[in-house]
Structure 1
Amino acid sequence: MTYTRLLQIALVAFGAVFCLVWPLTIVWPAGWAWHDGPPMASHYFMMIVGVYATLGLFLIAAARDPLAHASLIWFTAVSSAVHAVIMAAQASADPMQGGHLVGDVPALLLVAVAFGVLLPRARAEAGRDGVLRTA
């Protein structure tokens, strides 16, 4: 299997998870939600759900031609790493938020590492095939 194909699979899989943040908070609130009560009780949370669902749809669309959407993939990788680091620090400081250290923090780090490893390899792979794309 090529790195480009692995990247396409990762884009669809992580895109789907980003689209499913809301249901994940219902199934496991301690690992995914940062407020008490139902998801719709927090305007901030619903805004974040909307942003992540939109990002998820764009990641799924980017799977058709990942190299043409490199900036979106890098944004997702870097912003996920930053989000995970901040969230880990906050969860470490608040014992009531420890579920995030085994929930969304590792999930975000997995996204960052997967995209950070697969995208450069897919680009190199395309270069070896003589189909060098810039984006």
Structure 2
Amino acid sequence: MNREMALKIVLALVGLLFLALFYPLAVFLRQEPALSMMLSLYVTLGVFLLLAIRNPLASRSVIAFTAWSSFAHAAVMGTQALRNMISRGELIGVAVLIVIGAALIALAPAKHPAEPA
């Protein structure tokens, strides 16, 4: 399997995973407004990751944003879990976010050199 096909599979899986967060978003809309606001960003990002499957090179910034924001989210969640601010069970989510970020960085399309003028 070539690198581009692997990237498209990862984009599809992560995009569908993020899109699936629509259900908890709808459930927690009234009970947890901050959580539902965060989930709305992930659902939207899921749509854009699915659109990026068509042309990953043209969607490099969306792929990079997803990877680096996953690392940032994992860092915050991990710190909160280790300081007992949130449940230690959230460390599973930290691991998932790190895997997502690492996979997207590893498979991200290389930037083509600019053509001479």
TM-score relative to the length of structure 2: 0.85
The one of 59, 66, 79 equivalent to 1:76 is 66
- Which position in structure 1 is the counterpart of 2:103? 114
% same residue: 32
Aligned pair count?
112
- Which position in structure 2 is the counterpart of 1:61? 51
- Which position in structure 1 is the counterpart of 2:15? 15
Give the Cα separation in 1 of the matches to 2:54 and 2:113.
14
Following superposition of structure 1 onto structure 2, how do residues 1-135 of structure 1 map, counting pairs within 5 Å?
1-23=1-23, 39-40=28-29, 41-94=31-84, 97-102=87-92, 104-119=93-108, 122-123=109-110, 132=112
**Would you say the 8 A contact 1:22–1:39 is kept in 2?**
no
Aligned pair in 2 of structure 1 residues 43, 107: CA closer, same or farther (>3 Å)?
Answer: same
Give the Cα separation in 1 of the matches to 2:3 and 2:46.
20
Q: Which runs of 5+ in 2 are unaligned?
A: none
SS in 2 for 1:74: helix
Q: Give the letter aligned to residue 5 of structure 2.
A: R
Give the Cα separation in 1 of the matches to 2:54 and 2:22.
25
Give the Cα separation in 1 of the matches to 2:39 and 2:75.
19
SS in 2 for 1:123: coil
Larger helix proportion of the pair: 1
Q: Which has the higher contact order (CA 8 A, sep 6+)?
A: 1
**Would you say the 8 A contact 1:77–1:111 is kept in 2?**
yes
Give the Cα separation in 2 of the matches to 1:2 and 1:10.
13
